[in-house]
């Protein structure tokens, strides 16, 4: 039969292209506002089809199609599934819809576009009565040579269906199996940086949801980076959601600890209740706010300065000791605010010649108090401001019989626990193994630093931020710090000499992490 050709732009309400007309051609474009059932054969629409009604069938159509209505491959009268071929480009507008029926394996609609597909609008899936898909069933419902855009709306019978976009096709997959999530990279144990980066994956394609600590899960992609983390323990959790919407019921997690970033000790001076702290480590008094000027202890005759991390937040705070009574500025306000904001306690009252000593005696990050008198040490190990006897608290002997002995405290081995020592006229004896006796070297440490310096005062601190306490000498405003722990003055820059406090009489050195 000869192909029939029509040379006008056709507006139709209902046109049925029957199989008895295997070929029909329209030289002009077509606008379909009704129901166009292309039941078979081939239809050539040279100037394209603008569909605002319903287009269905199993024919082959040549020409570009713009769909603002419905495209439903297959033959609606008998609900038979089939393939509708569009030999050209397809544009699916935001008002357009593609409807796909699936009646079983090998029995489903397909839209075959030989050109490119520009997608928007809606994709809707219908299941035939009595069809129960199995996990993993896959149906290729649309093919094309290229694609732009995506469906604005997808209507599926259940959330177990996934729409899978490929470079040349779109598939529907029935998926009731949850994905499994794995963390590939990221910190563990204890780290010193406040940034954490995690890489993760899943055994199925999809999306991820992440959270850190007690926060809410949020959409994320691998890798995810968290910055400015606080010191302490952190937990990262992530789970996958596959393309069918199945979430991993057991999120993968990783716990790690951010160590407090170690800052070097800086210097300062206590002058009868006035504190001058070299906060910017310039070795000069630069005034506030570059440096710190505070008042705490004025009017307390004989007050001795003490410094420590009284609450374990990683910062050095101040206090004073006078005849066994302690006043600690726990909230770092530089004024006595009374308890419980600050702390006042008695420890050492009645002990002649008692000198205050402070340190982290048990390694829990909180500085505790103690007193030293003529070689005897009394340490308030449980931090309750009273002597509870051993083993709750600790009493030891170290330094008895040494002339002009002064107590020194530091973390000599970097294990996070403070050890004791004695400075006597330039000679240092450090109880490195915490045995409360002099065991000789190399178990303990004896060194010389400061001999021949009159009016010298021992100072200790982590001058180089390596986690180990080093020694030094303060002499009337001049500081000599043994930064490289060689037990000798090696000159700068190996060691450090600075001036801070010259001209201030009867002052005391106060190192700390300001």
pLDDT tens figures, 130-141: 888 988 899 999
| 389-408 pLDDT tens trace | 999 999 999 999 898 999 99
3-class SS of residue 395: strand
pLDDT score of 261? 63
Between residues 297 and 228, which one has the greater pLDDT? 297
Residue in 18, 11, 153 with CA at minimum distance from that of residue 95: 153
C-alpha distances in Å from residue 36, one per residue of 61, 110, 497: 12, 17, 95
Between residues 361 and 467, which one has the greater pLDDT? 361
Look up residue 246 and give its DSSP letter: P
- C-alpha 435/C-alpha 443 separation (Å) is 10
Question: Which of 6-10, 158-162, 290-294 holds the top average pLDDT?
Answer: 290-294
Decide the pairing of beta strands 368-373 and 355-359: antiparallel
**Within 13 A of 490's CA, how many CA atoms are on the CB side?**
10
Between residues 207 and 193, which one has the greater pLDDT? 207
Between residues 473 and 33, which one has the greater pLDDT? 473
The set of residues, in sequence order, having a beta carbon less than 8 Å from that of 181 and lying 6+ positions away, is 200, 201, 202, 208, 238, 239, 240, 248, 251, 252
Between residues 27 and 295, which one has the greater pLDDT? 295
Range with lowest mean pLDDT among 159-163, 179-183, 198-202:
159-163
SS3 sequence, 189-202?
EEECCCCEEEEEEE
Q: With bands split at pLDDT 50, 70 and 90, how would you rate the model's confidence at 8?
A: very low
pLDDT surpassing 80 at residue 25:
no
pLDDT surpassing 90 at residue 228:
no
pLDDT score of 26? 56
Mean model confidence pLDDT for the chain: 89
Q: What average pLDDT does the segment 487-508 reach?
A: 92
pLDDT surpassing 90 at residue 67:
yes
- C-alpha 406/C-alpha 296 separation (Å) is 24
| 423-465 pLDDT tens trace | 999 999 999 999 999 999 999 999 999 998 989 999 999 998 8
pLDDT surpassing 70 at residue 88:
yes
Q: With bands split at pLDDT 50, 70 and 90, how would you rate the model's confidence at 313?
A: confident
Within 10 angstroms of residue 506's Cβ, the number of other Cβ atoms is 6
pLDDT score of 24? 53
pLDDT surpassing 70 at residue 16:
no
User: Is the sign of the CA dihedral 431, 437, 441, 446 positive or negative?
Assistant: positive
Q: What average pLDDT does the segment 474-484 reach?
A: 95
Look up residue 314 and give its DSSP letter: S
Range with lowest mean pLDDT among 37-46, 257-266, 369-378:
37-46
pLDDT surpassing 90 at residue 46:
no
Q: What average pLDDT does the segment 214-219 reach?
A: 96
- C-alpha 277/C-alpha 282 separation (Å) is 11
pTM over 0.75: no
């Amino acid at each position: 039969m000869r192909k029939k050709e029509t040379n006008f732009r056709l507006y139709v309400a209902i046109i049925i292209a029957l199989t008895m007309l295997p070929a029909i051609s329209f030289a002009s474009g077509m606008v379909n506002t009704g129901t166009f059932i292309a039941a078979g054969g081939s239809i050539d629409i040279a100037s394209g089809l603008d569909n605002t009604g319903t287009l269905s069938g199993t024919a082959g159509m040549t020409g570009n199609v713009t769909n603002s209505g419905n495209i439903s491959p297959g033959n609606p009268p008998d609900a038979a599934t089939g393939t509708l071929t569009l030999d050209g480009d397809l544009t699916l507008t935001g008002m357009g819809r593609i409807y796909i029926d699936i009646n079983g394996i090998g029995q489903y609609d397909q839209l075959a576009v030989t050109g490119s597909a520009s997608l928007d609008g809606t994709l809707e899936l219908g299941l035939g009565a009595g069809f129960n898909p199995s996990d993993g069933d896959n149906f290729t419902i649309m093919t094309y040579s290229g694609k732009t855009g995506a469906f604005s709306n997808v209507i599926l019978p259940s959330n177990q269906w996934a729409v899978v976009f490929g470079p040349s096709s779109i598939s529907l997959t029935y998926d009731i199996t949850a994905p499994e999530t794995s963390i590939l990279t990221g910190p563990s144990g204890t780290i010193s940086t406040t940034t954490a980066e995690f890489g993760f994956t899943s055994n199925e394609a999809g999306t991820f949801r992440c959270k850190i600590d007690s926060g809410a899960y949020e959409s994320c992609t691998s890798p995810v980076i968290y910055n400015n983390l606080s010191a302490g323990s952190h937990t990262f959790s992530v789970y996958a959601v596959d393309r069918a919407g199945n979430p991993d019921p057991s999120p993968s997690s990783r716990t790690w600890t951010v160590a407090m970033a170690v800052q070097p000790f800086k210097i300062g001076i206590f002058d009868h209740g006035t504190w001058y702290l070299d906060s910017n480590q310039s070795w000069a008094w630069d005034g506030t706010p570059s440096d710190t000027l505070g008042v705490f202890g004025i009017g307390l005759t004989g007050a001795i300065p003490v410094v420590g991390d009284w609450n374990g937040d990683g910062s050095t705070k101040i206090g004073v000791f006078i005849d066994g009574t302690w006043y600690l500025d726990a909230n770092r306000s530089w004024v006595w605010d009374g308890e419980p904001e600050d702390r006042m306690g008695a420890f050492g009252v009645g002990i002649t010649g008692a000198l205050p000593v402070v340190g982290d005696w048990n390694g829990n990050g909180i500085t505790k108090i103690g007193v030293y008198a003529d070689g005897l040490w009394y340490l308030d190990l449980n931090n309750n401001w009273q002597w509870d006897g051993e083993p709750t608290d600790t009493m030891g002997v170290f330094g008895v019989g040494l002339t002009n002995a002064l107590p020194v405290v530091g973390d000599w081995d970097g294990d996070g626990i403070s050890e004791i020592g004695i400075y006597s006229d330039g000679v240092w004896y450090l109880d490195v193994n915490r045995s409360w006796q002099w065991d000789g070297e190399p178990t303990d440490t004896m060194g010389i630093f400061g001999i021949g310096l009159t009016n010298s005062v021992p100072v200790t601190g982590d001058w180089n931020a390596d986690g180990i306490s080093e020694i030094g000498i303060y002499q009337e405003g001049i500081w000599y710090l043994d930064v490289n722990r060689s037990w000798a003055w090696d000159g700068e820059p190996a060691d450090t000499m600075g001036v801070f406090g010259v001209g201030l009489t009867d002052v005391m050195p106060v190192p700390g992490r300001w």
